[in-house]
Amino acid sequence: MEERGYSLDGTVNLNGGPVLSSTTGKWKACIFILANQLFDRFAYFGVSANLVIYMTSELQKDMVSSVTSVNNWSGTAWITPVLGAYIADSYLGRFWTITFALLIYAIGMGLLVLTTALECFKPTCRNEICKASTTQLTLFYISIYTIALGSGIMKPNLSTFGADQFDDFRPNEKVLKVSFFNWWSFNTACGTLAATVFVVYIQERFGWGLGYGVSAIGFLLGAVSFFMGVPIYRHKSRQSKNHAKECFRVPMAAFRNRKLHLPSNPSELHEFALEHYIAAGRRQIYHTPRFRFLDKAAIKASRKDGSNPPCTVTQIETMKAVLGMIGIWLLTIIPSNFWAVEVTMFVKQGTTMDRNLGPNFQIPAASLWSFVVVTILICVPIYDCCFVPFMRRITGLHRGLKMLHRIGIGFSIQVLAAAVMYVVELERMEVIRKEHITTGTQVVPMTIFWLLPQHVLLGLANTFLMGGLLEFFYDQSPEQMKVLGTAFYTSTVAAGKYTNSLLVSVIDHFSMKITGKSWLGNNLNDSHMDYYYALLFVISALNLCLFLWVQRRYIYKKENETEVNGIQILKEET
């Protein structure tokens, strides 16, 4: 069966052609999107995975400034999705915003290859000491921040565009959408693994220019893959409303009606009939008891002259959903620090340890991150194919677990990982004392595989968190602002990167002031990274306790579950 250009949830084909409605057809469209995401992650992590090593070894930046620079750059790549969400929801729509982002991304990748491959742009080396000029540094930072902008704008739109391929008004497709988010996490892991094993090795063995050139080829393959699916994609019609203005209207109306009496029965509040939402291809959101002060915006007697009509319950619940997501978002900032630690501290820690694997091969420190990815690749299929069906039979929930329960499990595993990180670092320092190691160039006689348990634990945590957070923010976001929900997810990563930069800078300043020596100095063999890991464990454990308290009281958005019979013809936006 195929629907000629229209769907129950307001999706259309870009050229008015057939919209595939079979399960196979929808997964076929998703394959092109997932292929683009696979190569995008390959390109992005090909740049980011070893960036802290490039800055310290090639640009001769110190440890703290390198970690801060990488976190700030990565934070930009994860905060710009908010801009991408605004552009897509208010102006261009998902598809054209992705196209615009790919163009910016291409410019950034091209500049990076030029600045790292051409001799005239490379740092000048004298007496084995390399120093980059102001022009070279400027071009380098322009290239990586252009990549951050393009990647950031694309992030929320690509996953949301993939979810749009499934019709939310059909119960069987809601189940498929759950699997899509799980396989999205799996696909991310595949691209990351290829980058951390293949690209990182090329960068350290054959040169940075060639390594980044391989990343650029991966990006090109991803762009081609995405545009190959154009004939069969489903495109959700963009509404002309200013959604930010709609959200602000609710608290303003509630404040204006603050002196009016709030009815005890929610049915007395202003709301359209269910048929109104079914005809519009939207979902009605039912009243919930949270944030009761906003309910005054729906008092019917607020303006009898009609100058300021009351808000509907659905509009108010939309605002409540945003406020609820903000509360959960704040509690994800501390856990998101671990994503920053994986590609900065872990990498530098690994460079101090024995990385030899046989007489002629040395493991790149950044490649150990691949064990995080391998764990995800193993666990995601088990989670989706075994754990979810098992829990579905027990709980009766189509997701198996409530979304916040899944996230809470991920946070708990992160706390355990922080404890392991602290213990392993104590062991490394003990070996340093026994061997009387003092300089940063001396290799600690301790295999790098001591870091394996913490990588595996964080991979297990990410199995629950990556899909869980993405699905939660997508599911709980307002009907016509789904890209905003994905931007909530990406901005948690950005907040983690920025707060990690702040945490590292504060620890560096505090330790220098108290002891005269940084706990996170350039010489990690004469530092106190164990203090940093201990602090991360304490604040993560406290954050987990607060999250568990909040999630028990969180009220999920309640939508009508009426399945529409037949096809509701929706006019394509012109």
**Distance between CA atoms of residues 298 and 263, nearest Å:** 10
Torsion sign, CA atoms 260, 476, 372, 197:
negative
pLDDT at 494: 80
DSSP 507-527: HHHHHHHHHSS-TT-S-GGGS
CA-closest candidate to residue 265, choices 311, 298, 306? 298
How does 62-97 read in b/e, with b if 16+ C-beta sit within 10 Å? ebbbbbbbbbbbbbbbbbbbbbbbbbbbbebbbbbb
Cα separation of 549 and 570, whole Å? Answer: 43
pLDDT confidence of residue 572:
30
Distance of CA 319 to the CA centre of its chain: 23
Query: What average pLDDT values come out for the chain (574 residues) when binned by 10 residues?
Result: 38 46 65 86 86 79 78 84 82 87 93 84 66 79 92 85 73 68 79 83 84 91 88 68 67 87 85 76 79 86 64 85 88 88 79 81 76 84 86 84 91 95 92 85 86 91 86 79 74 82 85 82 80 92 95 79 41 29
Angle at 223 (CA atoms; ends 217, 226), nearest 5 degrees: 140
pLDDT at position 467, please? Answer: 79
In the chain, the domains with their CATH numbers are: 1-240 (1.20.1250.20), 243-320 (no CATH), 321-558 (1.20.1250.20)
Rounded-to-10 torsion of CA 165, 171, 175, 178: 60
Separation between Cα atoms, residue 455 and residue 461, nearest integer Å: 10
- The structure tokens listed for 392 are 């579905």
- pLDDT given for residue 7 in this prediction: 43
Beta carbons of 403 and 525 less than 8 angstroms apart? no
Confidence (pLDDT) at 573? 28
pLDDT recorded at residue 547: 95
**Look-up: residue for tokens 């909040």?**
550
Residues 353 and 205: their CA atoms lie apart, in Å, by 18
pTM of the model: 0.72
Alpha-carbon dihedral of residues 351, 149, 108, 30, nearest 10 degrees? 90
Token representation of residue 351: 């460079």
What stretches of 257-344 show up as alpha helix (H) in DSSP?
274-279, 313-330, 337-342
Q: What are phi and psi of 447, to 5 degrees?
A: -60, 145
* Cβ burial, residue 16 (10 Å; 0-12/13-18/19+): exposed
Three-state DSSP class for 19?
Answer: strand
Give 273-280's long-range contacts (Cβ < 8 A, gap of 24+): 274/560, 274/562, 277/314, 277/560, 278/562, 278/564, 278/568, 279/568
What is the model's pLDDT at position 460?
A: 93
pLDDT of residue 135: 80
State how far Cα 352 lies from the chain centre.
30
